Amino acid sequence: MKKSLQALVISIAVCSAFSAHADINIDKEVKSVEKKVIEWRRDIHQHPELSNRETRTAALVAKHLKSLGMQVETDIAHTGVVGYLKGAKPGPTVMLRADMDALPVTEKADVPFKSTIVTKYMGEDVGVMHACGHDTHVAMLMGTAEVLAAVQKELHGNIMFVFQPAEEGAPKGEEGGANLMLKEGIFKKYQPDVAFGLHIMSNLNTGQIGYRSGPIMASGDTFDITVKGKQTHGSAPWNGVDPIAAASQIVTGVNHIVSRQIDITKEPAIISFGKISGGIRDNIIPDSVNMIGTIRNFDMDNRAKIFDNIKTTASHIAMASGAEADVKITEGYPVTINDPALTAQMLPTLKNVAGADNVFDVPKLTASEDFAFYSQEVPSLFIFLGGTPVGQDASKAPYNHSPYFYADESSFKIGTKALSQLAIDYLAMNQ
């Protein structure tokens, strides 16, 4: 009965939103910025910047927001930018977010605006590329800012535009990203009621939008296990303590955590070892072995249990071999959760923008996103935007982080309209 009543209330709110904003047709504004969005994207794509170093991109964004008459704040969390658009009518505040950083990837995509930037990363010369589409996110949100500024006098509330650095993770020894922007007080200052964001994806075609109610992207954490033994000659292992043998047993034991100790009927989880290193030659049993890996999960209680079980498993297996295990777990991004009520409330908007046949309930994604930090603070909705041209098999397209990653420019119109309409409709529903 309660669910039925809630659904009725949401339905009434949605209908009210569309009727309230029947006079705000943004198609003209979206069309007028489309070429600008493409130009901004190409410019940003040719000038990619790594995490916490997005100075040129931030300057471009700030200049544009100021030209629209917004209140603009810069240098947040190193290079972050916040623009604040105050509507003419009272109402809530909607946050819209785009991430700005690129990746240490040498571009191989054959496009006229490909990146040729090279920089030092982890001591090596590497290319820099927007291999995850953050250039498109920035350009679309810049376009959205122009669209919403054009209808400012009709907005029942305010818009907070967040251009965020370091979504891919801050450089070693630095803080960054969404968590640092929150630490520096952007939510306390601007007090958003909800947050919306999107990510372009190559596994969906242009014109398609993917969404999911509840957990949509996994938490992303890392573990670092050093197994300490006693070095000795390989011909006489009994004279030492073999950390390689202990490490191999730890790999097996840790892999059993998900399959035997975690209730994966509640939510799936993954533990993967990414690197094992130790020793220098065939006839020397080394002093130590180091192992690093990743933890992905969709339930915060399971997350804490996995952390504890990795520590217990590694230390006890090592002890049984006469070795020691030093386990360090670094918390990364929490689970990205789409608020169920907000998702239901805004689903008609997405269908109105893209067409009902182009809006899909997508499976959980085991990649992680630091938009998750915002979703812990306010009700949030994070969606996926198709970026592979219509007619191409999206399942075979180079995935995000690939040097061949490509985002179809005709998708930007849908993304710009989706962000704009989500803001307009939410404000109308809650005036």
Residues 6+ apart with CB under 8 A from 212: 338, 343, 361, 362, 363, 364
- Asked if 356 and 171 touch (Cβ cutoff 8 Å), the reply is no
Q: Give the tens place of pLDDT for each residue, 32-66.
A: 999 999 999 999 999 999 999 999 999 999 999 99
Q: What is the pLDDT of residue 9?
A: 43
Cα–Cα distance measured from residue 199 to residue 307, given in angstroms and rounded to the nearest whole number: 29
Q: What is the pLDDT of residue 24?
A: 77
Q: Which two tokens stand for residue 349?
A: 């908007």
Residue 189 gets the label, from left (phi > 0), alpha (psi -120 to 50) or beta, of: alpha
- Residue 83, strand partner residues: 72, 161
For the CA atoms of 178, 183, 184, 185, the dihedral, rounded to the nearest 10 degrees, stands at 100
Q: What is the pLDDT of residue 7?
A: 45
Q: If you count them, how many residues does the chain have?
A: 431
Sketch out the chain's domains with CATH numbers.
Answer: 2-218+335-429 (3.40.630.10), 219-333 (3.30.70.360)
Q: Give the tens place of pLDDT for each residue, 163-214.
A: 999 999 999 899 999 999 999 999 999 999 999 999 999 999 999 999 999 9
Q: Burial-class residue 154 by CB neighbours within 10 Å (0-12, 13-18, 19+).
A: middle
Q: What is the pLDDT of residue 122?
A: 82
Q: What is the 3-state secondary structure (H, E, C) of the chain?
A: CHHHHHHHHHHHHHHHHHHHCCCCCCHHHHHHHHHHHHHHHHHHHHCCCCCCCCHHHHHHHHHHHHHCCCEEEEEECCCEEEEEEECCEEEEEEEEEEECCCECCCCCCCCCCCCCCEEEECCEEEECECCCCHHHHHHHHHHHHHHHHHCHHHCEEEEEEEEECCCCCCCCCCCCHHHHHHHCCHHHHHCCCEEEEEEEEEEEECCCEEECCEEEECEEEEEEEEEECECEECCCHHHCECHHHHHHHHHHHHHHHHHHCCCCCCCCEEEEEEEEECCCCCCEECCEEEEEEEEEECCHHHHHHHHHHHHHHHHHHHHHCCCEEEEEEEEEECCEEECHHHHHHHHHHHHHHHCHHHEEECCCECCCCCCHHHHCCCCEEEEEEEEECCCCCHHHCCCCCCCCCCCCHHHHHHHHHHHHHHHHHHHHHCC
Q: What is the pLDDT of residue 21?
A: 44
Catalytic amino acids? Answer: 333, 409
Cα–Cα distance measured from residue 291 to residue 273, given in angstroms and rounded to the nearest whole number: 7
Residue 357 gets the label, from left (phi > 0), alpha (psi -120 to 50) or beta, of: alpha
Q: Which two tokens stand for residue 45?
A: 């794509």
Q: How far is CA 410 from CA 50, 173, 196, 229, 405, in A?
A: 26, 39, 21, 58, 16
Amino acid residing at 104: P
Q: What is the pLDDT along the chain (431 residues), one digit of tens a residue?
A: 444 444 444 444 444 444 344 357 999 999 999 999 999 999 999 999 999 999 999 999 999 999 999 999 999 999 999 999 999 999 999 999 999 999 999 999 999 999 999 998 888 899 999 999 999 999 999 999 999 999 999 999 999 999 999 999 999 899 999 999 999 999 999 999 999 999 999 999 999 999 999 999 999 999 999 999 999 999 999 999 999 999 999 999 999 999 999 999 999 999 999 999 999 999 999 999 999 999 999 998 999 999 999 999 999 999 999 999 999 999 999 999 999 999 999 999 999 999 999 999 999 999 999 999 999 999 999 999 999 999 999 999 999 999 999 999 999 999 999 999 999 999 999 98
Q: What is the pLDDT of residue 23?
A: 55
